[in-house]
Amino acid sequence: MVTTLERVYDMALIPDWLKCEIIHLWERIDSRREDGSLREWMQSHSRIIIIITIVCISILLFELIASHGSNQGDEVIEQKKEWYYDLNTEQLFVSRAGLDVPIRAPSGRLPDGSYAGVRAYVFTYSLNNEPNESELFIGFLEKPDPNVKGSEPPQNLSGAKLWGYGKLIRTVDDPNWVSANSPQGQEITEPLFSRNTKGQTATYCPPLK
């Protein structure tokens, strides 16, 4: 499983919405596996198993697209977009997917001279295929952890832990960056991958344009 997920998260063609769905599903499976009720849970949640199967098939399709696109000048990558966040203006902006953050932001550089653009994960609780701006919210921001940049993740990491390795995250309201795998980081991400008090689950929203 580690090998498969490493391939997924290293692929620029895999969009953030699919990564978020994988994290969401894995968190729910992990919680059941830890308390020993995984088999019972799988039997009573066949719909989730079907979704996992669809996700796995999607991963294979993306791998085929990546392989084909690499022979045509990576044109597919150029057409895909992701959300980014300008730390100076505290505003979202859209740029090419797969960029290594921080990136150049519309406002320029930060006071310390570094780039002001970090990755943003935008979600909605709306069931509309094209939610309006008022229905969107920023779940968290992301940038690399300079202390582990370039190092290989431990072999025992899998699922959401593997995704979070080497990443710092924060909310828009808290200026403090924390490790995605730390208890503080999990406090930020777990509510997004769990049902809220209304029984709703947040869905990642890619840029419409």
d(CA 140, CA 111): 22
Indicate the pLDDT class of residue 16, thresholds 50, 70 and 90: low
Q: What is the pLDDT of residue 19?
A: 59
- Main-chain dihedrals φ then ψ at residue 200, nearest 5 degrees: -95, 150
Lowest mean pLDDT among 58-62, 64-68, 101-105: 64-68
Q: Please report, for the chain, the start and end positions of each structural domain, with discontinuous segments joined by +.
A: 2-204
Under DSSP, is residue 172 helix (H, G, I), strand (E, B) or coil?
Answer: coil
Residue 141 forms beta bridges with which residues?
120, 170
Mean pLDDT value across the chain: 76
User: Which residue, 167, 206, 183, 155, is CA-closest to 21?
Assistant: 206
CB 100 within 8 Å of CB 92: no
Residue with tokens 């991400």: 189
Q: What is the pLDDT of residue 193?
A: 82
- Predicted confidence at residue 6, as pLDDT, reads 39
Q: What burial letters (b/e) apply to 24-43, b meaning 16+ CB within 10 Å? A: bbbbbbeebeeeeeeeebee
CA distance 21 to 160: 11
> What is the C-alpha separation between 5 and 109, in angstroms, rounded?
34
Asked if residue 45 has pLDDT above 90, the reply is: no
Q: Which of the two residues, 50 and 206, has the higher pLDDT score?
A: 206
4 has a pLDDT exceeding 50 = no
Most confident of 17-21, 116-120, 128-132: 116-120
Q: What is the pLDDT of residues 132-160, one digit of tens each?
A: 888 899 999 999 999 887 778 888 877 78
Q: Which residue shows structure tokens 């690399």?
A: 144
Is residue 130 pLDDT above 60, yes or no?
Answer: yes
Write down the pTM of the prediction.
0.65
CA distance 205 to 100: 20
